[in-house]
Structure 1
Amino acid sequence: MKFFLPIVFITLIFPLAACAQFTDSTTKFLKLAAGGSINKTKNGSNYLFNNNVQYNIKKKRTVLNSSGSWIYGMSPERLTNNDFTITSNVNLYRHFPEFYYWGILNYTTSYSLNIKHQGQAGVGVAYNFINQPNLWLNISDGFIGELSRIIQGDTALINYQTIRNSFRVQFMFKLGNRFTFKTGNLFQPSLEYISDHILSSDSEFTYQLWKGLNLNTRLLYNKNSRTEKENLILTYGMGFEKYF
């Protein structure tokens, strides 16, 4: 099916996978994943597809991360998801091996969350509290500026801008050489509007089959208080990842 074809973007997101197996000679990481779910009844079919691509480059004191995702879903009655996100960020290590500065650019458009366009840019700091090959815990915080065009109350089209605090917790656990669990949880409250916040969680469980080929299950949750919309997405599929 055409929705399983990965879309190739150049962007950034999780430094998670990129931190685990980089060496002096292995400086790049590529990950492709395609998953979905289908429910067929006598009234029609419900389906959801989730495609992701990630690319990371590590230099001596710099890590460049890029990622893109596209979620598309239909029910017999209507379109449910057409959500597109690209993210680019850079991590700069200067003083301590576990501490770094980060800068990020992010663009989102989401049918399910009533977001027509959303651009974010910001800077912050992060610290690896645990940084082992099989166990990783990272906490980061910073400030981002946001320009958004949203649908509020399902009818009103609104343009607005705000400054947000961006707090993220990321965790990875590997059991042996085959099982990997990782999660990233993000909370972004506005510094100007008390009731305005963004909440996001992305968790993935993978089982490695052979030389980078894996089975995966992914659980996503997103909430935007400004549009009063949220989604919960569970998909399963296959992926490929390679360090080189």
Structure 2
Amino acid sequence: MMQLTGFSQFSDTVHYYVNFSGTGNLNRTNTTGSTYLLNNTLQFQVNKKKFSINSLASHVYGKNATVKTNDDFLGILNLDILKGIQKFYYWALTSYEKSFSLKLDNRFQAGAGVGYTFVNIDKANLEVSDGVLFETSDLSIPDAHGQTSYQTLRNSLRVKYRFIIKEMFRFDGINFYQPSFSDGNDYILKLKANFSIKLYKWLNFTTTFNYNRQNITNTENLFLSYGLSMEKFF
């Protein structure tokens, strides 16, 4: 599960939020050729006072002078219940992921849990949630047990935060730790942080840091990208 972020408190009327970010980096020399990474993310949310529905689709593609380094897709659908009216809330989630860099052909997760909001004001937000996910995965390479396909139950611990300074600077992020109940060496770690500078009321310059690790195959990726993001409430 990756980033699903809202930036306001909502009344009992329906509100919508859409965000598209296109970031990346490029390096070219006359000796090694070109290296590039493209990171595109689209988010859409429907928010009411008692529940919110959040969706996300992201694609990362990278290549250096000789080989492809990234071709990673993530899709998420998330439901939060009672989050807008009390600190203690409930969530349900389903996600699909494939990742060339993590040697993951397919991963499907679905589950539910509870969360607690420590801070939720216009300029600051801090949440912690936990729950159980069912996962089925197909791998490009054998894992530590020689498997290329398996199912497991995972604990999913999430820490999410957002801080806005002087209506111009925003720092937000979301971190996941997902160990398997049946194997302590089988865990997924996802760290994502964004720093944005507002250029216009709907346009931001954004720098994104991502780190992902799939320990069962000893694979990981890390990248830093920068570019523009556009967002709109309506």
Q: TM-score, normalised by structure 2?
A: 0.94
Tell me the amino acid that sits aligned with residue 82 of structure 2.
Y
**Cα distance, 1:37 vs structure 2:** 0.3
Q: Would the aligned equivalents of 2:187 and 2:214 in 1 still touch at CA under 8 Å?
A: yes
Q: Does 1:139 align with 2:128?
A: yes
Tell me the amino acid that sits aligned with residue 71 of structure 1.
V
Tell me the amino acid that sits aligned with residue 33 of structure 1.
S
Q: What are the equivalent positions in structure 2 for 1:74-223 lying under 5 Å apart? A: 74-93=63-82, 97-152=86-141, 158-223=148-213
Tell me the amino acid that sits aligned with residue 172 of structure 1.
R
Other structure's SS at 2:6 match: helix
Inter-partner Cα distance in structure 1 for 2:164 and 2:179: 31
Counterpart in the other structure of 1:3: none
Q: Would the aligned equivalents of 1:13 and 1:89 in 2 still touch at CA under 8 Å?
A: no
Unaligned runs of 5+ residues in structure 1 are 1-11
Other structure's SS at 1:16 match: coil
- Residues 67 and 228 (structure 1 numbering): CA distance in 2 closer, same or farther, change over 3 Å? same
Inter-partner Cα distance in structure 2 for 1:95 and 1:21: 7
Tell me the amino acid that sits aligned with residue 205 of structure 2.
L
Tell me the amino acid that sits aligned with residue 46 of structure 1.
T
Q: Would the aligned equivalents of 2:142 and 2:148 in 1 still touch at CA under 8 Å?
A: no
Tell me the amino acid that sits aligned with residue 88 of structure 1.
L
- Residues 53 and 80 (structure 1 numbering): CA distance in 2 closer, same or farther, change over 3 Å? same
Inter-partner Cα distance in structure 2 for 1:152 and 1:206: 37
Counterpart in the other structure of 2:45: 56
**Cα distance, 1:187 vs structure 2:** 0.1
Q: What are the equivalent positions in structure 2 for 1:31-46 lying under 5 Å apart? A: 31-42=19-30, 43-46=32-35
- Residues 94 and 232 (structure 1 numbering): CA distance in 2 closer, same or farther, change over 3 Å? closer
**Cα distance, 1:211 vs structure 2:** 1.6
**Cα distance, 1:16 vs structure 2:** 2.9
Q: Would the aligned equivalents of 1:81 and 1:111 in 2 still touch at CA under 8 Å?
A: yes
Q: Would the aligned equivalents of 1:13 and 1:88 in 2 still touch at CA under 8 Å?
A: no
**Cα distance, 1:222 vs structure 2:** 0.1
Inter-partner Cα distance in structure 2 for 1:209 and 1:22: 24
Other structure's SS at 1:113 match: coil
Tell me the amino acid that sits aligned with residue 22 of structure 2.
A
Q: Would the aligned equivalents of 1:13 and 1:54 in 2 still touch at CA under 8 Å?
A: no
Tell me the amino acid that sits aligned with residue 61 of structure 2.
Y
Inter-partner Cα distance in structure 1 for 2:164 and 2:80: 23
Q: Root-mean-square deviation (CA), in Å?
A: 1.9
Identity of paired residues, percent?
Answer: 36
> Which residue among 35, 55, 73 is the counterpart of 1:66?
55
**Count, aligned residues:** 231
Other structure's SS at 2:10 match: coil
> Which residue among 203, 206, 228 is the counterpart of 2:218?
228
Higher mean C-alpha deviation, range 121-130 or range 145-154: 145-154
